[in-house]
Chains A and B, each alone.
Chain A
Amino acid sequence: MRALRAWLLRLGASVTGRAKPGDVADELSSHLALHIDDNLRAGMTPDEARRAAMLKLGGLAQTAESIHEQRGLPFFDTLRQDLVYAVRVLRRNRAFTATAVVTFALGVGATSAIFSIVNAILLRPLPLAEPSQLVMIFATEARRSLQFDGVSYPAFIDWQAQNRSFESMAAFANRDLPIGTSDEVVVARGKVVSANLFDVVGVQPAIGHAFRDWRPQSPDVVVLSDGFWKRHFGGSPSAIGQTVRIDERPHTIVGVMPARFTLDGDSEDYFQPLGVDTNRGRGFLRTVGRLRRGVTLEQARDDMSAIARRLEQLYPGSHKGVGANLVPMGDAVARRVRMGLLTIMSVVGVVLLIACANVASLMLARGATRQQELALRAALGAGRLRLVRQLLTESAVIAAAGGALGLLVAHWTASALAAAVADQFRVPGIESVRTDRMVLLFTICVSAAAGLGCGVAPAFASLSKDPNDRLREASRSATGRRAPRARRGLVIAETALALALLVGGGTLIRTFLKLRATPPGFNSASMIKADLSLPLPSFSQLDTRVAFYQPALQRVRALPGVRAAAFVSILPLNNRNNTESFHIVGKPDPSPDRGYSAVFNVASAGYFRMMGIPIRGGREFEERDAAGAPDVAVINEAAARAFWPGESPLGRQIILPLNKDVSQTVTVVGVVGDVRQASLGIAPRPEVAVNAMQTRLLGSSVTIVARTDGDPKALAESLRAALHSANPLVPISRLTTVDDVVSRSIVEPRLYATLLGAFALLALVLACVGLYGLIAYSVSQRRHEFGVRVALGAAQSAIVRLVVGEGLHLAAAGVGIGLVVAVAATRLLVGLVVGVEPQDPVTFAAVTLVLVGAALLATYIPARRAAAVDPIAALRDE
């Protein structure tokens, strides 16, 4: 303790620099005076007395020095001196300091900004108990190359019973149902969860209890989320015991989860117990398990694969080719954005590298102009390591200033970026992006590493030569010397990295532009849509559904400003995959165990015309295709090509299996143009649409679409009112324009293109600054040479060519290396965004042109300066 106290006091003395030398001098002179007094009393002459006292003290200066050393800590004393000196030197070279600090801040800021997002989404633990022990278990299916498929209830029970790796295992599935409180009916995001789920994840309701005593025959109960509870029950504890109607059935509220609880990032509204489901073919459950202590993920994988193989043998019908895929829960939740985030993180890492190369190059240049100062100090006895330490202190000051500025940059941009994408990306954690301790620590580490990285090499390089040589050399102006090899290498590396990033950014931008220019196959302008979800008990029969849809549609059509309206079960660009298998009358099935397959849809009369989907042959659905009339279907061109190549599909018949025993036979009456069903980046697939009034495929959730005369947004409220008046118990959701649907479908590619494009641009600017700096330096070093050339009759244009040539030489080397890197790097983008074409020659060519153009500009400015050298002045300087 005492030692620590003493150390802290000494540290304090070093940091504040208050050594109080006067005090020491006073004490020593008082000592001498006392001693001299004694000596005089002993009979010495004044001179002798003084000499003897001094001798006995052991030298005034040495004593003062040793007291001084004891007062502070020598290491920190030196540090303080170096810091003071560094700050003074840096303040004297404002341009250099500002460039270095800003460059550094941009690199560190970009890196830290992205890191704070990565930290919030990928690194911060989930709000569950010991989340690192939680593992999601998905089914895999080799035949359809599925990696994240659901598992059936019976298979889940088998997994649960047979595994030896998990303490406990639970299952859940999404179930969005209409939920009615006393005042309104809304579509709520819900989950059915096995009764033990809250025990497995280790989070219990904040008030009330979960489903511990629940059995399949127990009365219906529900646990609400904190958000739903606050919205609909005002956060009142009396909600426990009240009932809500989920899909019209009364459920007793037994618990409310804590705030911010989410299972896998969906913002759930409610949780219901999972009932028994005996269908082994219906894989709808996601499974989460808590690993036993000491069991590794690998062991658990082996265990689960063994179980999957056993089930495969027992139930070849439903389990053929089905395996198990184990993913740590944190990774599974962020699966969708993980790759994107890591890609962008590596991109900013490259930007940081470029920034560091720039700063290092600047330091090298400065080291060169300071040769004389350093040589002088070395000659006066400063050790090499001492000088290196001092130069490193300078780069540390730059790194600290740049890092602090970068942290500010990161703080602002990260929260702005997160806020901008939060509603499009429903990823848990995105709302909690902030500059926390991890981000601070990361920024400090990155700044320190980068500062050291760009400081060490230049510091040693500045001192590599013998001080005598340096003194002699520095006093002469460098003639005909080009920039040193190290700096040229740095600039080439920067250019190469910038080119690779530009190619990456360019590829994504081109992909996005191509996506945006892709015709969706319909006309999205002036249209509005709303999703309807019918509560199943009241609408379990087809005629009750029809009896709702028909008058609802009439009300919408009657609205002023509505030109046409129709409904459809799946609107294009909705990322849903509703592939079903069917048979064609008069044609054998393609293989004995399965029929033809196509996307199935259900649409009402006039849907295709209203959507602006062209009719290529026959006709579309009309009012006369009512119940009782012959059942009709409309197919798209892709289906016509796939199933009736070279013949007319019109009048052909299709058999749709509705369930095990019932099927429906429909006649193709029309062929319409292709639309992009899943997303703009995915080619249209064969589609069969059945008439809504004639099929049991007409389900409980449909989308109603209306084409309007004016701004579709203006119709939103009257559309909602019309649907509400048709039946107030039917919840309406996702009421928006169709244009919005289209632009939302390319939100991700747009985000990646914007981010990568922005970082690539930053890289380009940094690389050009680096190139400019190098050429400008080289011109300043060769002033004398240019003066001689001009004096000997060189034309200005020749000088410009000479300098620009030097710059382009470097840029060309960078481009060459960068292209090779880019070829490999763009392949990584393929998995990121649908529709990426790696090694797109147009992008490569355009990007190379942009880079060479920028390099030309960066070298032309110093080249002009070189050409403008006044030969007389340049030679007189000598």
Chain B
Amino acid sequence: MDDKADVWQGTLALMVLKTLETLGPLHGYGIARRIEQTSAHHLSLNYGTLYPALLKLEQEGYVTSEWGVSDNNRKAKFYRLTRAGRKQLDKEAREWERTTAILARFLTPGEEAP
């Protein structure tokens, strides 16, 4: 696992958490599709990488999983946000906003501090 993957893993986790917050309990495939749609297909997600990320979130206690039945009657494992996951989502979202704001200031010319 090199540095690039780590960053990717971090943002992927954030996207997963956000998706679960917006849509409620959802299976892995649904999460993957939703992420692709939300990014307006700018992100091409290798679906396979989603599952280790989900397992890690589950080990950290941010999501729980449960077998259930999908809309079109397929057996599927549904992931649900826990209370700790909600808190983590708030925290990470705020951090992400701050980071992007700082970077934006660096990258936007002519907007240096007066």
B4 contacts chain A at the CB level, 8 A cutoff? no
B51 contacts chain A at the CB level, 8 A cutoff? yes
| A-contact bits for B48-81, CB 8 A (1 contact / 0 none) | 1101100110011110000000101011110000
| A-contact bits for B10-36, CB 8 A (1 contact / 0 none) | 000000000000000001111001000
B46 contacts chain A at the CB level, 8 A cutoff? yes
Residues of B within 8 A of A58 (CB): 46-49
B interface residues, tally (CB under 8 Å): 25
Q: Beyond A56-B46, A59-B48, is A6–B74 a contact (Cβ under 8 Å)?
A: no
**In the assembly, what is the distance between CA of A10 and CA of B60, in Å?**
10
**In the assembly, what is the distance between CA of A109 and CA of B48, in Å?**
53
Whether A70 contacts B27 by the Cβ 8 Å rule is no
- Give the Cβ gap from A673 to chain B, nearest Cβ, in Å: 88
- Give the Cβ gap from B36 to chain A, nearest Cβ, in Å: 10
**In the assembly, what is the distance between CA of A38 and CA of B29, in Å?**
11
Residues of B within 8 A of A34 (CB): 27, 29-30, 70, 72, 74, 76
- Give the Cβ gap from A7 to chain B, nearest Cβ, in Å: 8
Q: Beyond A30-B74, A34-B27, A34-B74, is A5–B47 a contact (Cβ under 8 Å)?
A: no
**In the assembly, what is the distance between CA of A320 and CA of B48, in Å?**
92
Nearest B residue to A58 via CB reads B48
A619 contacts chain B at the CB level, 8 A cutoff? no
**In the assembly, what is the distance between CA of A34 and CA of B70, in Å?**
9
A44 contacts chain B at the CB level, 8 A cutoff? no
Nearest B residue to A53 via CB reads B47
Residues of A within 8 A of B75 (CB): 26, 30
Nearest B residue to A60 via CB reads B48
Q: Beyond A10-B59, A57-B47, is A66–B52 a contact (Cβ under 8 Å)?
A: yes
Residues of B within 8 A of A369 (CB): none
Whether A62 contacts B51 by the Cβ 8 Å rule is no
Residue from A3, A9, A26, A70 having most chain B Cβ neighbours under 10 A: A70
Whether B27 contacts A2 by the Cβ 8 Å rule is no
Residues of B within 8 A of A6 (CB): 56, 59-61
B interface secondary structure, majority:
helix
Residues of B within 8 A of A31 (CB): 27-29, 47, 76
Residues of B within 8 A of A24 (CB): 51
Whether A69 contacts B47 by the Cβ 8 Å rule is no
Whether A69 contacts B61 by the Cβ 8 Å rule is no
Residues of A within 8 A of B84 (CB): 2
Contact-size category for A: 20 to 34
Residues of A within 8 A of B47 (CB): 31, 35, 56-58
A663 contacts chain B at the CB level, 8 A cutoff? no
Nearest B residue to A9 via CB reads B59
Residues of B within 8 A of A440 (CB): none
| B-contact bits for A33-46, CB 8 A (1 contact / 0 none) | 11101100000000
**In the assembly, what is the distance between CA of A35 and CA of B60, in Å?**
28
Residues of A within 8 A of B72 (CB): 34, 37
Whether B61 contacts A5 by the Cβ 8 Å rule is yes
Whether B60 contacts A70 by the Cβ 8 Å rule is no
- Give the Cβ gap from B1 to chain A, nearest Cβ, in Å: 10
Residues of A within 8 A of B30 (CB): 34
A543 contacts chain B at the CB level, 8 A cutoff? no
Whether A66 contacts B49 by the Cβ 8 Å rule is yes
- Give the Cβ gap from A61 to chain B, nearest Cβ, in Å: 10
Q: Quick one: which of B29, B46, B51 contacts A35, CB cutoff 8 A? A: B29
Residues of B within 8 A of A59 (CB): 48
- Give the Cβ gap from B55 to chain A, nearest Cβ, in Å: 5
A436 contacts chain B at the CB level, 8 A cutoff? no
Whether B55 contacts A71 by the Cβ 8 Å rule is yes
- Give the Cβ gap from B67 to chain A, nearest Cβ, in Å: 8
| A-contact bits for B69-105, CB 8 A (1 contact / 0 none) | 0101011110000001000100000000000000000
| B-contact bits for A1-37, CB 8 A (1 contact / 0 none) | 0110110011000000000000010111011011101
Q: Quick one: which of B48, B61, B70, B88 contacts A57, CB cutoff 8 A? A: B48
A67 contacts chain B at the CB level, 8 A cutoff? yes
A63 contacts chain B at the CB level, 8 A cutoff? yes
Residues of A within 8 A of B59 (CB): 5-6, 9-10, 70
Name A363-401 residues within 8 Å CB distance of B: none
Residues of B within 8 A of A56 (CB): 46-47
Whether B51 contacts A2 by the Cβ 8 Å rule is no
Q: Beyond A31-B29, A37-B72, is A63–B48 a contact (Cβ under 8 Å)?
A: yes
Residues of A within 8 A of B88 (CB): 2
**In the assembly, what is the distance between CA of A526 and CA of B74, in Å?**
101
Whether A37 contacts B56 by the Cβ 8 Å rule is no
Whether A37 contacts B60 by the Cβ 8 Å rule is no
Q: Beyond A2-B60, A6-B60, A34-B74, is A27–B48 a contact (Cβ under 8 Å)?
A: no
Nearest A residue to B57 via CB reads A6
Residues of A within 8 A of B33 (CB): 38
Residues of A within 8 A of B49 (CB): 58, 66
Q: Quick one: which of B51, B55, B61, B74 contacts A28, CB cutoff 8 A? A: B51
- Give the Cβ gap from A549 to chain B, nearest Cβ, in Å: 88
Whether B29 contacts A63 by the Cβ 8 Å rule is no
Nearest B residue to A6 via CB reads B59
Residues of B within 8 A of A38 (CB): 33
Whether A63 contacts B51 by the Cβ 8 Å rule is yes
Residues of A within 8 A of B74 (CB): 30, 33-34, 37
Nearest B residue to A70 via CB reads B52
**In the assembly, what is the distance between CA of A6 and CA of B61, in Å?**
8
**In the assembly, what is the distance between CA of A286 and CA of B109, in Å?**
85
Whether B48 contacts A62 by the Cβ 8 Å rule is yes
Residues of B within 8 A of A62 (CB): 48
Q: Quick one: which of B48, B52, B60 contacts A3, CB cutoff 8 A? A: B60
**In the assembly, what is the distance between CA of A33 and CA of B33, in Å?**
14
- Give the Cβ gap from B64 to chain A, nearest Cβ, in Å: 13
**In the assembly, what is the distance between CA of A529 and CA of B77, in Å?**
91
Residues of B within 8 A of A67 (CB): 51-52, 55
**In the assembly, what is the distance between CA of A30 and CA of B61, in Å?**
23
**In the assembly, what is the distance between CA of A57 and CA of B50, in Å?**
9
- Give the Cβ gap from A867 to chain B, nearest Cβ, in Å: 63
Whether B55 contacts A70 by the Cβ 8 Å rule is yes
**In the assembly, what is the distance between CA of A31 and CA of B52, in Å?**
14
**In the assembly, what is the distance between CA of A24 and CA of B51, in Å?**
9
**In the assembly, what is the distance between CA of A58 and CA of B55, in Å?**
17
Residue from A5, A31, A38, A69 having most chain B Cβ neighbours under 10 A: A31
Q: Quick one: which of B46, B56, B76 contacts A30, CB cutoff 8 A? A: B76
Whether A30 contacts B27 by the Cβ 8 Å rule is yes
| B-contact bits for A66-83, CB 8 A (1 contact / 0 none) | 110111000000000000
- Give the Cβ gap from B104 to chain A, nearest Cβ, in Å: 29
Whether B48 contacts A70 by the Cβ 8 Å rule is no
Whether B28 contacts A27 by the Cβ 8 Å rule is yes
Nearest A residue to B84 via CB reads A2
**In the assembly, what is the distance between CA of A3 and CA of B57, in Å?**
10
Q: Which 3 A-B pairs have the closest CB atoms?
A: A63-B48, A58-B48, A6-B59
Name B residues whose Cβ lies closer than 8 Å to a Cβ of A.
27-30, 33, 46-49, 51-52, 55-56, 59-62, 70, 72, 74-77, 84, 88
Question: Could you name 16 residue pairs across A and B whose Cβ atoms are closer than 8 Å?
Answer: A2-B60, A2-B84, A3-B60, A5-B59, A6-B60, A26-B77, A27-B77, A28-B51, A31-B47, A31-B76, A34-B76, A35-B47, A37-B74, A38-B33, A58-B49, A70-B56
Given contact pairs A30-B29, A56-B47, A69-B52, a sample of 13 additional A-B residue pairs in the complex whose CB atoms are under 8 Å apart = A2-B60, A2-B62, A2-B84, A3-B60, A6-B59, A6-B60, A24-B51, A27-B76, A31-B27, A34-B30, A34-B76, A57-B48, A67-B55
